[in-house]
């Protein structure tokens, strides 16, 4: 659990620097290239919520799985 918190803190720090460079009141969009409901989606939504609080901006997580994620 501690390792997950450390990784989240590092990723959040990297994303916040990039997001802070954006100007205006437009929402920040993060595209997740996997299906919604997975571990990546859950972690990214936690990070997006922290970004929303720290940056005082709207953060939208979009799940857009590609053809590589589908099975036949």
pTM given for the model: 0.56
Highest mean pLDDT among 1-5, 45-49, 67-71: 45-49
pLDDT of residue 43 exceeding 70: yes
Predicted pLDDT at 18: 56
- Per CATH, the number for 2-67 is 3.40.190.150
**Cβ-contact 33, 65 below 8 angstroms:** yes
Residue 37 has pLDDT above 70, yes or no: yes
Whether residue 51 has pLDDT greater than 60: yes
- In this prediction, residue 68 has a pLDDT band, given cuts at 50, 70 and 90, of low
Phi then psi dihedrals of residue 59, to 5 deg: -120, 125
């Amino acid at each position: 659990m501690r390792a997950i918190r450390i990784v989240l803190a590092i990723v959040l720090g990297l994303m916040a620097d990039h997001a802070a460079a954006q100007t205006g009141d437009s929402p920040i969009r993060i595209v997740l290239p996997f299906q919604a409901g997975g571990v990546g989606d859950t972690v990214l939504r936690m990070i997006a919520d922290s970004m929303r609080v720290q940056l005082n901006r709207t953060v939208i997580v979009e799940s857009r799985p590609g053809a590589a994620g589908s099975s036949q």
